[in-house]
Copies of this chain bind each other. A is one copy, B any other.
Amino acid sequence: MPPQYAPSLRSRLAPLLLLLQTGFIIIFAFYVEIERKGKADAFINFYAEFQDVNVIVILGFGFLGTFLVRHGFSGSGFNLLVAAMATQWALILNDIESLYYRGKMRIDLRSLIVAEMRTASALISTGAVLGKANPVHLILIGLLEVSGFILNEKLLQFFLKVRPLESIMMLHIFGSLFGLMLTGVLYRKGSEHPFEKERFDKKSGLFSMLGTAFLWMFWPTFNSVLVDDHTPGRKLGAVCGTYLALAVSAVTAAAVSVLSNPKGKLNLVHLQSCILSGGVAVGVSVSAVQHPWEAMTIGFAAAVISTIGFHYLKVIHMLLAFQCHDTRAILSSHGLPGLLGWLAHLILQIKDSTNPVIAIRFALFHICALLITIALSVTLGILTGLLVKLKFWRAPQDKKCFDDQAFWEFPRLAERK
């Protein structure tokens, strides 16, 4: 007879959390200090944007993951846990070069924001295994993904002189490919049929709508926060462009969703996955977008491929014989729009450049940057998947997937009458 309960995580989760956390505190004690030379001005200007990014990471991604009717606590609670760990780790890795030069790393509001954006890439990856992994898995994935993503950034900056703004915006491509490989490696037999408990109800759909709404509202901040405001209008352009792209992709996703349904109904899951696609695509191409209409066109195209991608993903998986179960549809909500944004960046840059030599040079660099990102994310995703697959981490049984009951204690739960 199989065990009736999900395996206990007491001997895995608690030591892991306490060990890592103590380690982080020790590292901070010896090597990290507050940047005390910044102007008060810079602080104030950044603070509201820091809070927006914080809301995106904790509330947006957290409540986006509550759409599963029996998985709401895990969706929002584990998201917070992973975010709290990954941000600390990203903060440590952020300025690791200075450790070599000065013996100390400095943190300020900007490094906190950057750390949270890197955490977002990890939260995209964990979205693919949502409901099928236990918190130990999620934390390992979060920390490894963030490390890999920072490695990718440093490689791009070192070899190709890619600017920080552009290398960090690769997070959508990196996060989704990493997550996809991971969930491919962790594939469970029999999950071509949906899991028994992978269902949503109308209230959990509304919680998830809440998360989506926060992501949608604060996405302009996510795309513009690292754009410098030395050139007048650059930051404003990023904000307006992102806002318009989001509006266009909301409208377009709704239209495509209605078209793709025989009864002409809207699909809430389409909407929640695809209305952000415009923001994602404009984010990846933000340093090349000059005019609002460019952002809007990108948003239009992103919503079309994202919604169609979502709809026909299953067929594609079958065709490619690529077995993979992607809970939050990160391929169509982050991967495809991210790649489109990369392409749009390339096209816009070539269009705007007057010198063909520079254009070709840029194209080569741009293609290399994509190839490095793909190679690294795929490799690291597979390796992480293999590590996480070890029996040692006590994965939940198929029957316990998508079920809060496996990880949460409900002492005084009201009975349904």
* Interface residue ranges, A against B (CB under 8 Å): 5, 8-11, 13-14, 17-18, 20-22, 24-25, 28-29, 32-40, 43-45, 47-52, 54-55, 58-59, 62-63, 66, 69-70, 72-73, 76-77, 80-81, 84-85, 87-88, 107-109, 112, 135, 194, 198-207, 209-210, 213-214, 216-218, 221, 229, 232-233, 235-237, 239-240, 243-244, 246-248, 250-252, 254-256, 258-259, 261-269, 271, 275, 291-293, 296-297, 300, 404, 407-414, 416-417
Q: Are A9 and B264 in contact, with the CB atoms below 8 A?
A: yes
Q: Are A40 and B232 in contact, with the CB atoms below 8 A?
A: yes
Q: Are B239 and A411 in contact, with the CB atoms below 8 A?
A: no
Q: Are A252 and B217 in contact, with the CB atoms below 8 A?
A: no
Residues of B within 8 A of A409 (CB): 261, 263, 265-268
Q: Are A233 and B37 in contact, with the CB atoms below 8 A?
A: yes
A258 and B36 in contact, given A206-B66, A417-B416 (Cβ under 8 angstroms): no
- Report the nearest B residue to A230, measured CB to CB: B40
Q: Are A28 and B202 in contact, with the CB atoms below 8 A?
A: no
Q: Are A13 and B232 in contact, with the CB atoms below 8 A?
A: no
A25 and B217 in contact, given A18-B252, A412-B194 (Cβ under 8 angstroms): no
Q: Are A76 and B213 in contact, with the CB atoms below 8 A?
A: yes
Chain B nearest Cβ from A51, distance in angstroms = 6
Q: Are A10 and B263 in contact, with the CB atoms below 8 A?
A: yes
Tell me the dominant secondary structure on chain A's binding face: helix
9 A-B residue contacts at CB 8 Å?
A18-B255, A24-B296, A25-B297, A28-B296, A29-B291, A73-B209, A84-B247, A85-B247, A87-B247
Q: Are A28 and B76 in contact, with the CB atoms below 8 A?
A: no
Q: Are B73 and A268 in contact, with the CB atoms below 8 A?
A: yes
- Report the nearest B residue to A37, measured CB to CB: B232
- Report the nearest B residue to A39, measured CB to CB: B232
A414 and B200 in contact, given A55-B217, A267-B408, A293-B32 (Cβ under 8 angstroms): yes
A252 and B17 in contact, given A43-B236, A229-B40 (Cβ under 8 angstroms): yes
Q: Are B77 and A112 in contact, with the CB atoms below 8 A?
A: no
Q: Are A34 and B240 in contact, with the CB atoms below 8 A?
A: yes
Q: Complex: how many Å from CA A410 to CA B63?
A: 19
Which residue of B62, B72, B198, B256 is within 8 Å of A202 (Cβ)? B72
Residues of B within 8 A of A251 (CB): 17, 20-21, 81, 84-85
Which residue of B17, B62, B216 is within 8 Å of A254 (Cβ)? B17
Interface centre among A13, A44, A202 (most CB of B within 10 A): A202
Q: Complex: how many Å from CA A214 to CA B213?
A: 13
Q: Which 3 residue pairs are nearest across A and B when measured between Cβ atoms? A: A10-B264, A36-B233, A8-B264
With A9-B258, A77-B266, A84-B248 already in contact, 12 other A-B pairs whose C-beta atoms are closer than 8 Å = A20-B251, A28-B293, A40-B232, A47-B239, A48-B51, A51-B52, A55-B217, A72-B209, A84-B250, A199-B414, A202-B410, A268-B409
